[in-house]
Structures are given as C-alpha cells and as structure tokens.
Amino acid sequence: MALKFEKLEDFYQVYENHRTYVHAVVRKKHIRNFDEQVWRPGKFESSQSVLELGTGTGLFLAYLVAKGLTDFKGVDGDPKTLEFMPDNIANKVTIGDIWLTLDKLEEKFDRIVMLDVFEHFSYFEGQKLLTNLKNNLNTNGRIILRVPNAASPFGLQYQYNDLTHKAAYGPGNLEHLAFASGFNIEKRLSARRGNYFKKSIENLVHSILNRCLTEPPPLWGANMIAVLVPI
C-alpha cells in the first residue's frame, strides 16, 4: 500500500529513515556542551526534578545521570529510541503521543526541557503546549528550549533539514510566543558546537561583522537556547 503525504505529520511515516540513531553514551564534549547551554543558563541543581519532552535516544537524560540527578522522566513518540537507551533511562521514558501523555501527567517538575523539539509544533500548538506546561511546573520552575535560530543565516540548515518542522523561531518571535503563553524569556543564547579554538574564531568574526553590517542578527548561533519563566 502506497504511503500518502497530505499534511506535515505524514512525513513521520518515513522519519525512521531520515533521522540518525546514536547510543546515549555521554562523553566529555557532551557534558561541556550541556553545562554551557542548559545546566548553567537553566540554573539546574542535582536535587531538582526534570521532565524532558522529545528525549530522542536519551543523551540529555544520560547527561543528567552523569551530573548526579536522579529525579527525571522523559517522553518520546518514537519506540525505536528505546533500543539505544540504557535500561536505567528507558525505564523512565514514556513512549507515546505528547498531548495524551501530558493530559494524564499530574506531577510537577522544577525544569522542563525540549531540545530540538519545539519547532515540530505550529505556533498555535506551541502556545497551547507552553500554557499547559505551566501546570506542571513547581514554584521557581523553568522551561528550557533549544530551537534552530531562523534569525541567523546559519540556522536555516537546521530549520529546513526536516519536513516535520512546523514553525521557525528567532529571538523576537519566540519572545512574542512566550508572552502569549504567560512566560518571560529569562535568558537566551546561541547553542554552538565545536571546540574552544573554533568558537574563539567565530567570536572574532561575529564581532567584526557586527561592526560592518547595518542589521546583524541578535544571535549568530545556528541554534538558540531560551530559558522561560512563568509571569
């Protein structure tokens, strides 16, 4: 029977062929990147509770374990990801539709994390999701998002590499959506890969471009981290 493609969600039918599955093995570079991009900006502590939506193969959850954090849960829609997760992580991950899972979720968390996930929801779905997630945040809770940075010329390769992406975000319209959902953006930053030397060269180039261009992007990084706090 031939597959039908009539809406964006239909492309999930061949998503397994599109994505790359990698075992959740935490290396020094992962710890360094997550420390810089998520842990410190999100003001994480090992005593906190964390929910990750869209776990993939569980690399971020494995990172949390490496940081000594034990109170966590995850949700993902792809059952194949379980094949690449350690048992101590897979046992805490629910495979299923995010909306249906959240409808049944009564727990509250200190941090809710979505890494390369939020762009898979339309603007209206994203507003609904953030609004609903406020009910699952503890006092002083935060939501941490990583999305392609459509305001940067380097972000387009990530934004348009996946047909299931429904929304494109830059710092401005992400803040707009946050306001519509009852959040402020506490912090935003570029999520950059690479070693210290490459980042230093990039910083120098971006500094020169900021002086030369009449309208440089607010963030140069191909991907963007945003920390949201309820208003």
The dihedral sign for the CA sequence 125, 128, 133, 134: positive
- Please choose, from the candidates 162, 149, 161, the residue with its C-alpha nearest in 3D space to the C-alpha of residue 218: 149
Architecture of domain 21-230: 3-Layer(aba) Sandwich (3.40)
pLDDT of 45-87, one tens digit each? 999 999 999 999 999 999 999 999 999 999 999 999 999 999 9
- The answer to which of 8-17, 67-76, 175-184 has the lowest mean pLDDT is 8-17
Dist CA 163 CA 15 (whole Å)? 9
Per the CB < 8 A criterion, the answer to whether 53 and 114 are in contact is yes
pLDDT of 17-44, one tens digit each? 888 889 999 999 999 999 999 999 999 9
Start-to-end CA span in the chain (Å): 50
Q: Where are the domains of the chain?
A: 21-230
